[in-house]
């Protein structure tokens, strides 16, 4: 049927998509259903409402799930291993203590933002928080500064990288969906991410730290501040290990720009090592030696570290896969094309559109990953009809939208609340405002950059 209740086919598809998304949001936000199960059910619901055949719905779900995880699952696994090696070796603490010494106590909050930005590159946000919270407590005790003045810059650095900077899973999802260039996205993400993290981190942290005074939980503070740190890896080798995958990816992109037709074997080699999977694999193997064997860990220790760190990633991998399934049903059912037609006719600014869609889903579900994955499926067809759009900036806009307004339906909200020993109102005034600053400032800078690139 081309119409329902007098509506055109495109509008009908949009109504069914809205029903499926509301269903998704309500089950996750209100009834606390598992996002993986909910995304799969929502995919089935949308497919049937849109008039797809049962076999086509199943093929769309399995194809979308498998296609999404083809690269992302490997990136998540290798990135988690790299983060685990950094945690076990004491590399994160070495980076923090060195930067604090170099910056001095008066500018220590700037150093902490850089720590969060650097350490956040190979690890998930939650892992980064757990990794760096001891250092926040130690630095706050040593400098006698407000806990939030030290902690907010760290959280801003971690969250900025989580939402904007590849090879994190969230931006990688959008890069894959939008067929964006990885190297350009990394470059733009650093141009956008650093000033965004500065405003939401050191500047806002200094402001809010003077107004909200909190003390760390006594048991955690005692445990962390008595930790020995005399036998830590070197700063240079730790920093190089963490940045190695990003360096390799940039090398591959530069080679591609210099020789787009890959006429030389050197270009082919650079593009090969610059592939996100190969770059991360090289970095992980290098970390086995630089942060593992050279630190006195046995092969059994390294094997144990890399095995036990993978179990917690199962949930995030499944959610991303199910999000890919939902995205594919959006496309195959014709919903994506309908949205693209309407958005194109309305001359919608695609950067604003991507940010707004991701922001709505983020606020409703509390999950940046669900927001990024679902928004990618909605925005990708619109991009297909607007070939002149800078897709790398749309990736960043989607990531910025997925960070906005973290509140009580976000696990990260409660993690920050507990670690910083805050009340719910204090967490809303500090963490939630910081996340919203990251999102809005990031969007403004993306729009400004879009006028020149």
What is the maximum span of the chain, computed from C-alpha positions, in angstroms? 74
Task: Return the structure tokens found at 207.
Answer: 């402001």
DSSP string, 385-429: T-TTS-HHHHHHHHHHHTTS---TT-HHHHHHHHHTT--HHHHII
CA–CA gap between residue 297 and residue 291 (Å, rounded): 9
Closest CA to 361 of 402, 400, 329, 320: 402
Neighbours of 387 (CB within 10 A): 7
Q: What distances in angstroms separate CA 47 from CA 1, 16, 65, 364, 445, one per listed residue?
A: 15, 9, 15, 22, 37
The domain ranges of the chain are 9-450
Contact 401, 433 (CB under 8 A): no
Q: What is the pLDDT of residue 227?
A: 45
pTM above 0.85, yes or no: no
pLDDT tens-digit map of 226-268:
445 557 888 889 888 878 887 887 788 788 777 877 788 888 9
pLDDT by residue for the chain (453 residues), tens digit each? Answer: 444 444 577 788 888 888 888 888 788 767 878 888 988 999 999 999 988 999 999 999 999 888 878 777 887 788 778 878 877 888 867 876 787 778 877 788 888 888 888 777 766 676 667 667 767 777 777 777 888 888 899 999 989 988 888 877 778 888 888 888 888 888 899 999 999 999 998 999 889 888 888 777 665 555 455 445 557 888 889 888 878 887 887 788 788 777 877 788 888 998 899 887 888 899 999 999 998 998 889 999 999 888 887 876 777 778 778 877 887 887 788 876 776 666 666 667 889 988 988 888 787 666 777 788 778 888 888 887 777 788 999 999 999 998 988 876 666 777 778 778 888 788 888 999 999 999 999 999 999 998 888
CA–CA gap between residue 442 and residue 46 (Å, rounded): 32
245 burial type by CB count under 10 A (0-12 exposed, 13-18 middle, 19+ buried): buried
First and final C-alpha spacing in the chain: 43
Supply angle C-alpha 220, 225, 230, rounded to 5: 135
CA–CA gap between residue 373 and residue 258 (Å, rounded): 32
CA–CA gap between residue 152 and residue 203 (Å, rounded): 9
Contacts of 266 (CB under 8 A, 6+ apart): 255
Q: What is the pLDDT of residue 1?
A: 45
Q: What is the pLDDT of residue 230?
A: 56
Contacts of 289 (CB under 8 A, 6+ apart): none
Q: What is the pLDDT of residue 155?
A: 92
Neighbours of 103 (CB within 10 A): 15
Q: What is the pLDDT of residue 332?
A: 84
pLDDT tens-digit map of 176-201:
888 888 888 888 999 999 999 999 98
Q: What is the pLDDT of residue 186?
A: 86
Look-up: residue for tokens 């919903």?
A: 335
CA–CA gap between residue 157 and residue 125 (Å, rounded): 10
Q: Mapping DSSP to helix (H, G, I), strand (E, B) and coil, where does residue 286 land? A: helix
Q: What is the pLDDT of residue 396?
A: 93
Contact 116, 201 (CB under 8 A): yes
Closest CA to 362 of 310, 413, 293, 416: 413
Task: Return the structure tokens found at 120.
Answer: 């956040």
Contacts of 444 (CB under 8 A, 6+ apart): none
């Amino acid at each position: 049927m081309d119409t329902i209740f007098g509506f055109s086919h495109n509008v009908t598809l949009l109504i069914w998509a809205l029903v499926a998304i509301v269903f998704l949001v309500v089950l996750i936000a209100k009834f606390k259903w598992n996002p993986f199960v909910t995304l799969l059910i929502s995919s089935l619901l949308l497919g049937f409402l849109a008039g797809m055949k049962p076999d086509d719905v199943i093929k769309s779900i399995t194809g979308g799930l498998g296609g999404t995880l083809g690269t992302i699952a490997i990136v998540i696994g290798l990135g988690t291993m790299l983060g685990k090696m950094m945690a076990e070796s004491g590399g994160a603490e070495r980076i923090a203590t060195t930067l604090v010494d170099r910056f001095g106590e008066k500018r220590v909050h700037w150093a902490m933002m850089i720590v969060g930005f650097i350490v956040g590159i190979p690890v998930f946000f939650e892992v980064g928080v757990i990794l760096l919270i001891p250092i926040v407590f130690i630095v706050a005790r040593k400098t006698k500064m407000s806990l939030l003045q030290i902690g907010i810059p760290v959280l801003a650095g971690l969250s900025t990288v989580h939402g904007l900077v590849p090879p994190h899973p969230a931006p990688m999802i959008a890069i894959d969906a939008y067929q964006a260039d990885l190297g350009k996205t990394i470059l733009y993400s650093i141009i956008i991410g650093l000033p965004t993290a500065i405003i939401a981190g050191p500047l806002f942290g200094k402001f809010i730290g003077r107004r909200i005074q909190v003390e760390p939980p006594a048991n955690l503070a005692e445990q962390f501040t008595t930790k020995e740190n005399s036998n830590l890896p070197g700063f240079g080798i730790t920093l190089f290990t963490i940045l190695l995958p990003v360096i390799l990816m940039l090398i591959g992109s530069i080679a591609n720009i210099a020789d787009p037709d890959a006429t030389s074997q050197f270009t082919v080699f650079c593009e090969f090592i610059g592939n996100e999977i190969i770059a991360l694999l090289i970095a992980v193997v290098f970390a086995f030696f630089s942060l593992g064997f050279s630190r006195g860990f046995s092969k059994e220790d390294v094997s144990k570290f890399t095995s036990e760190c993978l179990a917690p990633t199962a949930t995030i991998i499944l959610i991303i896969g199910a999000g890919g399934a939902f995205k594919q049903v959006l496309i195959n059912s014709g919903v994506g094309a309908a949205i693209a037609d309407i958005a194109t006719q309305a001359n919608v600014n695609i950067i604003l559109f991507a940010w707004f869609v991701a922001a709505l889903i983020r606020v409703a579900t509390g999950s940046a990953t669900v927001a990024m994955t679902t928004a990618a499926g909605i925005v990708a067809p619109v991009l297909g009809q607007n070939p002149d759009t800078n897709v790398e900036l749309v990736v960043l806009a989607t990531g910025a939208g997925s960070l906005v307004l973290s509140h009580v339906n976000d696990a990260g909200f409660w993690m920050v609340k507990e670690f910083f020993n805050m009340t719910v109102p204090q967490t809303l005034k500090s963490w939630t405002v910081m996340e919203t600053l990251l999102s809005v400032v990031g969007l403004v800078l993306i729009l400004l950059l879009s006028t020149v690139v």
